[in-house]
Amino acid sequence: MHHWLPESISTYGSDIDSVIRLVYYLTLLAFILMEGALLYMIFIGNKKKGERASYFSGNTLKQALWTLIPLGIVIVVDIYIDYRSATTWGMVMTGADEAKIAVRVEGEQFNWHMIYPGPDELIGTADDLSIENVLHVPVNRKVRLTLTSRDVIHSFFVPVLRLKMDCLPGRDLDVWFEATKVGEYEIPCAELCGFGHSGMIGRLIVHSQEDYDLWLEENWPENLTELAENKL
Ligand SMILES: [Cu+2]
């Protein structure tokens, strides 16, 4: 039924999908009921040719109820969706602080700058590493991303992780994820941000722990680590 959703490789992916499914089926039910009523009125409940239509005199309460009852149903359904999705939302929106791995992501027309803090675990020091458009992470480890923008509003979107958050100039927003499958995935910008928006696409590379350790070794040569240590 949900084969059109992309593959999920995120620890909270199935929770997000169950919220999507809940909203989808509620909307589908409303659609069938409304369109069913409409088709019934058009094809079955109508008058025969030449027959006069019936006329009703006004009744304020009855007329108001036609609006108030559907409004009540919408509110109840809305609160139910909020109730069902609150736990998922809470889990996704909190807990970024527990992540041991942190990367700063700065959107800029039309690239993603992935800034790694380096061995000193601090951003803004000599051993930082800035990579264009490629985010390297290990599998099965919690990763914190601090999202921001250098110019206009962008939106950091990793469909397979079910992660999407705006990148706002002048503001840092923390999100987290834990990838469960090694591979290469897309990071499109999901906010129309200018003429090059459609080409603003990064890559997420999920490494096995061994490959990630190798990647770390390659990117932080000994002297750079020492340089950072002297600065501290
Ligand atoms: Cu963008």
Please tell me the distance between residue 109's alpha carbon and the centre of ligand 1 in angstroms: 6
Please tell me the distance between residue 197's alpha carbon and the centre of ligand 1 in angstroms: 5
Judge if 13-93 and 96-231 fold alike in CATH terms.
Answer: no
Q: Write down the pLDDT at residue 232.
A: 46
Q: Distance from first CA to last CA of the chain, Å, rounded?
A: 55
Please tell me the distance between residue 51's alpha carbon and the centre of ligand 1 in angstroms: 60
Please tell me the distance between residue 189's alpha carbon and the centre of ligand 1 in angstroms: 5
Please tell me the distance between residue 119's alpha carbon and the centre of ligand 1 in angstroms: 29
Is pTM beyond 0.85? Reply is no
Please tell me the distance between residue 71's alpha carbon and the centre of ligand 1 in angstroms: 37
Mean pLDDT, rounded, for 198-216: 92
Please tell me the distance between residue 108's alpha carbon and the centre of ligand 1 in angstroms: 7
Mean pLDDT, rounded, for 203-232: 76
Mean pLDDT, rounded, for 191-209: 93
Q: Write down the pLDDT at residue 96.
A: 83
Given 2.60.120, 1.10.3470, 3.40.50, 1.10.287, which CATH number is that of 13-93? 1.10.287
Q: Is the pLDDT of residue 222 over 80?
A: no
Q: Is the pLDDT of residue 136 over 60?
A: yes
Please tell me the distance between residue 192's alpha carbon and the centre of ligand 1 in angstroms: 6
Q: Write down the pLDDT at residue 140.
A: 92
Please tell me the distance between residue 83's alpha carbon and the centre of ligand 1 in angstroms: 33
Task: Domain ranges for the chain, please list them.
Answer: 13-93, 96-231
> Per-residue pLDDT tens for 14-59?
999 999 989 999 999 999 999 999 998 888 776 677 777 777 777 8
Please tell me the distance between residue 147's alpha carbon and the centre of ligand 1 in angstroms: 12
In this structure, the number of other CB atoms found within 10 A of the CB of residue 13 comes to: 22
Q: Is the pLDDT of residue 2 over 60?
A: no
Mean pLDDT, rounded, for 188-206: 94
Q: Is the pLDDT of residue 84 over 60?
A: yes
Q: 96-231: which CATH architecture? A: Sandwich (2.60)
Q: Write down the pLDDT at residue 209.
A: 93
Q: For the chain, what percent of residues have pLDDT higher than 70?
A: 93
Please tell me the distance between residue 166's alpha carbon and the centre of ligand 1 in angstroms: 10
> Per-residue pLDDT tens for 175-193?
999 999 999 999 999 999 9
> Per-residue pLDDT tens for 126-135?
778 889 999 9
Average pLDDT score, the chain: 87
Please tell me the distance between residue 114's alpha carbon and the centre of ligand 1 in angstroms: 14
